[in-house]
A = this chain, B = another copy of it.
Amino acid sequence: MRISKFVAPEIIFGNNTIQQAADACMRLGAKKVFIVSDLGVAQAGWLERVMDCCRLAGLPFATFMDIATNPRDTDVVNGCTSFIENECDAVIGVGGGSALDAAKAIAVLAANGGTIRDYEGVDKIEKPLPPMVMIATTAGSGSEVSQFSVITDSQRKKKMTIISKTLVPDIAIIDPYTLITKDSALTASTGLDVLTHAIESYVSIAATPLTDVQAKSALSLVSAHLRPSVASRTNAEAKEAMAMASLQAGLAFSNAILGAAHAISHAIGGMSPVPHGEINAILLPHVMDFNFIAAPGRFGQIAECMGIDTRVLTQREAGNAAIRFVQELSIDIGTPQRLSDLGITDSVIHSICLTALEDACMITNPRDMTLEQAKNLLARAL
């Protein structure tokens, strides 16, 4: 029997919970908080909401928003300098994966020094981080509950995956109401990221009964609610379901880790600034097809969570139905179907594959992947 480990932050989920940000920080002993966000979130008004609640609570703060869509090591260094100059002792992240991953990485540097590259891989962070409250305003990254931070190495042009228990925030706030300001394209790409988290963590070799229940629930919720969520910004039921799906998928992949789709996606994302969820969604059907033989029964369960009646299907038919479900979903919500649509060309496949095979997420992929197999997979997705 394998040993199962599971870590989660304290979770607060519900409409308007964003206004609990200051209270959450003060419970953790914060005297001055460093609020990390990005321009899009600020323009949507959510940063102001957090600042307001700090003002109301009498909690001093500094803000930092200078973050790329795929946050870079240089952004993190600048953030850390600002954190120290402003004499902050706690971090709030507010936004999607970019803001939250950057906020966590700033906390790492502030407490541990060095460069963010020193912490790439699993369990490299030694000193405890300042108190962290993460507020998710996109249903996607799961970063508000995860032990992950993904930062782009601007010199090596690759995404570094940093995995450590200390990256789990102290308190995660998920406010579905904030999803009202996401446009349909962002809703689609981040929603497909949730789908990928759920499926990859469910077939991961590190999956446990504790992650399985979260992954399956997330998968059912995305399958039922992503289409209506993309269709309407004001469908409160769909927004709530997608926020919960993102949270549960986050709990699953934080503890079971991910697989080949994320490993390859990180390699591509390091080179070109395309939305992470779109790359994942293009890769996912091909990765599922490749991984099928590693866990045929699990792919049958995936099909069932999608609402497919598998009783009269063979294992392979159920697996194919699950793959088709992913393809149809991404077509319906209008995301790109091929890597070439994102500007990826044949010439970079070799280098993408070399980087992907070294990614921490590849370790938990259920089927071993050779360089040749990776290249074939990418050729099919091109």
Contact = CB atoms under 8 A, between A and B. Distances in A.
Interface of A: 1-8, 10-15, 17, 165, 176, 208-210, 213-214, 216-217, 236, 240, 244, 247-248
B217 A11 contact: no
Given A209-B244, A209-B248, A214-B213, A13 B3 contact: yes
A111 to B, nearest CB: 15
Given A5-B13, A14-B1, A217 B213 contact: yes
B210 A248 contact: yes
A350 B1 CA distance: 49
The residue in A7, A214, A216 that gathers the most chain B C-beta atoms within 10 A of its C-beta is: A7
Contacts of A11: 4-7, 210
Contacts of A217: 209, 213
B13 A4 contact: yes
Nearest to A240: B1
Nearest to A172: B6
22 contacts: A1-B15, A1-B176, A1-B236, A1-B240, A2-B14, A3-B12, A3-B17, A4-B11, A4-B12, A5-B13, A6-B8, A7-B10, A7-B11, A8-B8, A10-B165, A11-B210, A13-B208, A13-B210, A210-B244, A210-B247, A213-B216, A213-B217
The residue in A8, A165, A247 that gathers the most chain B C-beta atoms within 10 A of its C-beta is: A8
A247 B217 CA distance: 18
Given A4-B11, A4-B12, A6-B11, 11 more contacts: A1-B14, A1-B236, A3-B17, A5-B12, A5-B13, A6-B10, A210-B244, A210-B247, A210-B248, A213-B216, A213-B248
A61 to B, nearest CB: 24
A244 B3 CA distance: 12
Contacts of A12: 3-5
Contacts of A6: 8, 10-11, 13
A217 B213 CA distance: 7
Nearest to A217: B213
Nearest to A14: B3
A134 B236 CA distance: 40
A24 to B, nearest CB: 11
A331 to B, nearest CB: 28
A60 to B, nearest CB: 23
A66 to B, nearest CB: 32
A300 to B, nearest CB: 17
Which 3 A/B pairs are nearest by Cβ-Cβ distance? A3-B14, A6-B11, A4-B13
Nearest to A237: B1
A95 to B, nearest CB: 21
Contacts of A15: 1
A15 B1 CA distance: 7
Nearest to A251: B210
A265 to B, nearest CB: 27
A221 to B, nearest CB: 8
A6 B171 CA distance: 10
A208 B216 CA distance: 16
A236 B1 CA distance: 10
A4 B17 CA distance: 10
Contacts of A247: 210
Contacts of A4: 11-14
The residue in A13, A14, A216 that gathers the most chain B C-beta atoms within 10 A of its C-beta is: A13
Nearest to A214: B213
